[in-house]
Amino acid sequence: MVYVGSADGHLYALKASTGQRFWRFPAGPVYSSPALASGVLYVTGATTSGVPVTYAVTVATGHKLWSSPGHGDLTSSPAVANGMVYAETNFGGGGTLWALSAATGKKVWSLSLGPPEGGSCPIDPSPAVANGVVYISGGEDGAAAVNATTGKELWGGSPVNILVCSSPAVANGVVYTDSGPVVAALNASTGKLLWFFRNASGNPSPAVANGVLYLATGGGVVYALRASTGKELWHSHISSHVNQSSPVVANGRLYLGSGSKQVFAFAP
């Protein structure tokens, strides 16, 4: 099955092999990706007045289990781990990280992120969860680590990233953030800078697979870097700009959408 939200105001369940629709749920416009855990989909939509709402919907039937208004953001995808849903709200004056009970949608804790330095983002980053820690970007610290149970900030700030519009990627004890001019690798426990790579990326989030970090730039350049050192392994130009689509790795291929409504596949 494939689960996808749409600007037409619905979340859809489609058969992966044919695209046949099994059900649809009226979530309001959905510009982010749903998260799937234990037979439940978590997605952020909106009310008719434009207020963001995080929903929990059954995978089998599309039946609503709960809704939590005001928690989440239309262009930020929720993350689910250990019975909690983490949703990031980013408005012009600042943002908030919310922790909701996955069973009920009730707020467990929240953390003010503060306004981002250096401007505002056209799309909002999504949180990532690993080893009991929530990693976020887009606030006044650029990047931060938060205890997933208590909401206490463990570290914040990146030595090279200020305005971080992309979502962090976490692998093997390292957090990767991409602010556009620079992609940075930070120690996941301390936030200490391990290495950085200068590029001309835009909003796409980095992806990590098999020891390689993949980046896409707004100008249509795809990079592969050694994840441990930041050394460039290869780069490739595509015939389109890439503003808001992030690379995905599956079955030995790297996939990337583009502003020209094309999808590119690479053999990494």
% of the chain with per-residue pLDDT over 90: 48
pLDDT of residue 94: 60
Domain 2-198 is classified in which CATH homologous superfamily?
YVTN repeat-like/Quinoprotein amine dehydrogenase (2.130.10.10)
Give 76's pLDDT tier (boundaries 50, 70, 90): confident
Instruction: Tell me the per-residue pLDDT of 16-52, one tens digit each, with 9 for 90 and over.
Output: 889 999 999 999 998 888 999 999 999 988 887 778 8
pLDDT at position 121 over 70: no
Average pLDDT over residues 80-100: 82
Q: Examine the pLDDT at 60 and tell me if it is beyond 60.
A: yes
For the chain, give the percent of residues with pLDDT over 70.
84
* pLDDT above 80: residue 163: no
- DSSP letters of 31-89? -S--EEETTEEEEEEE-TT--EEEEEEETTT--EEEEEETSSBTTB--EEETTEEEEEE
Task: Write down the mean pLDDT value for the chain.
Answer: 85
pLDDT by residue (tens digit) across 228-243?
A: 999 999 998 887 766 6
CA gap 112, 97 in Å, rounded: 7
Decide if pLDDT at 132 tops 80. yes
The whole-number pLDDT of residue 160 equals: 59
With the C-alpha atoms ordered 197, 147, 99, 116, is the resulting torsion angle positive or negative?
negative
Q: Tell me, what's the pLDDT at 224?
A: 93
